[in-house]
Amino acid sequence: MKKYKFIDLFAGCGGLEDGFLQSGRYIDIAAVEWLKPQVNTLIRRLETKWKVEDAAERVMHFDIQRETELFAGWDDEKFGSGKGLDYFVNKAQGIDVIIGGPPCQAYSIAGRVRDENGMRDDYRNYLFEHYLSVVNRYRPKVFVFENVPGILSAAPDGTPITDLIKQGFANIGYDIIEDLKITKVNASDYGVPQNRERMIIVGIDNRNYKNTQRMLNMFYKEILPKYKVTKKMTVKEAIGDLPACEPFYDEEHHKKRKSHTVPELNITWHKPRYHNLRDMDTFRILAKDIESGKREYNSKKISELYEKKVGSKSPIHRYHVLEPDLPSTTIIAHLYKDGNRFIHYDSKQCRSITVREAARLQSFDDDFDFVGAQGNAYQMIGNAVPPRLAKRVGMAVADMLNRMEVE
């Protein structure tokens, strides 16, 4: 079976890349990421799982906005030194696919609601321009551009971002589907135990393939849907086998900022974050409400509970218990701050989910290790593309490439 060569931009900790490699249809050539914990995590994964000996060189810790150095190489006080993308692409004699997606915070509706300027001044609105530059330089047959559904309504300077993206790719000879709404997928339909809607925008080089819209319609309506699962995975199916983390209620443990036991396991990161007694009691009440079937705590009552426990009001209810018999709600990077919206369904544990549980809900394998502090791990998991979704997208893209080559 033919394998296609790819590079990964805005790689994060490597969820998208890991999924493509799991498909067995690809060879990784290089990746670019500018956050050090994510870089170190991806290097470790490539070295330990995929036996990439030069992973420390291929995974480039660098700022994609500095394009000249990104292509030709750099020697920098902050980022160290690197050979540049040209070296690896030329060594591979070209690439077939570019994958990745610019940081989504500037496009997300939640981000725009929280920011007083609606994210209009956020530099991340235009990071896609650097994605364009890399695509134009290396001319892959196709690209895969992943982002949040909020990109459909983002218009920081009054012009819809989607119009700028379409025109930008058209200017360099790439076509994307005319109706971007059909690029939206839910990760739960592809085996991920989580409701997570994302845009998977695939583009085709129209200089080498002419029937682009026909092929793109086939990709979204026939090729990708065949990789959907018949039954969605639930939270309990994903994390229910992990041992319980029993709570401590005594003052001595809490003085040491230890609120729960840490089970001895041969997998990493199943260690709860510290919770104070007030939060533990809140989590117990809310989880018990679901366990009992009463479900008395609607948004209004949760807000009242928050005011009673914390002593201040909140415009939004800040707590959510994960339903054991449904896919999880969307795992987000905010987890690095607190886990109040990701409370474990077992009322006896009265805690939020661990890093390993968050990773499982994002479909990371248990042997996927995260490098950095606990907060770093939560953040990179929340920002990642679920590998199980990525694997199925990768298989569908490879199928499309095969069809393009025989036509």
Residue 42 sits in the same domain as residue 87: yes
When pLDDT is averaged across residues 231-249 and rounded to a whole number, the result is: 98
Residue 184 sits in the same domain as residue 256: no
When pLDDT is averaged across residues 306-329 and rounded to a whole number, the result is: 88
Say if 377 falls within a structural domain: no
When pLDDT is averaged across residues 385-394 and rounded to a whole number, the result is: 98
Say if 378 falls within a structural domain: no
pLDDT at 238 over 80: yes
Per residue in 350-379, pLDDT (tens digit) is 999 999 999 999 999 999 999 999 999 999
Per residue in 8-22, pLDDT (tens digit) is 999 999 999 999 999
Structural domains in the chain (count): 2
Residue 84 sits in the same domain as residue 219: yes
In CATH, what number is assigned to the domain containing residue 178?
A: 3.40.50.150
By CB atoms closer than 10 A (0-12, 13-18, 19+), residue 378 is buried
Residue 22 sits in the same domain as residue 139: yes
392, 20, 12, 88 alpha-carbon torsion, rounded to 10°: -150
Residue 96 sits in the same domain as residue 200: yes
pLDDT band at 104 (very low <50, low <70, confident <90, very high): low
- Determine which of 111-120, 273-282, 321-330 has the lowest per-residue pLDDT on average: 111-120
Say if 371 falls within a structural domain: no
3-class SS string, 350-369:
CCECCHHHHHHHCCCCCCCC
pLDDT at 105 over 90: no
Say if 40 falls within a structural domain: yes
Q: Which residue has the higher pLDDT, 117 or 380?
A: 380
Which residue range forms the structural domain that includes residue 273? 243-353
Per residue in 243-278, pLDDT (tens digit) is 999 999 999 999 999 999 999 999 999 999 999 999
When pLDDT is averaged across residues 225-231 and rounded to a whole number, the result is: 98
Give the 3-state secondary structure percentages of the chain, helix then strand then coil, rounded to 5. 45, 15, 45
Residue 268 sits in the same domain as residue 300: yes
Q: Which residue has the higher pLDDT, 119 or 129?
A: 129
Residue 219 sits in the same domain as residue 288: no
Please give the mean pLDDT across all residues of the chain: 93
Residue 187 sits in the same domain as residue 136: yes
How confident is the model at residue 256, as a pLDDT?
Answer: 96
Say if 15 falls within a structural domain: yes
Final residue belonging to a domain, choices 328, 353, 378: 353
**Spatial contact of 314 and 303, defined as CB atoms under 8 Å apart:** yes
Residue 190 sits in the same domain as residue 250: no
How confident is the model at residue 114, as a pLDDT?
Answer: 44
Residue 15 sits in the same domain as residue 61: yes
pLDDT at 203 over 50: yes
Say if 100 falls within a structural domain: yes
Residue 199 sits in the same domain as residue 265: no
Say if 360 falls within a structural domain: no
Say if 364 falls within a structural domain: no
CA-to-CA dists, residue 213 to 123, 166, 187, 217, angstroms: 31, 13, 24, 6
pLDDT at 346 over 70: yes
Residue 62 sits in the same domain as residue 173: yes
Proportion of the chain above pLDDT 70, given as a percent: 94
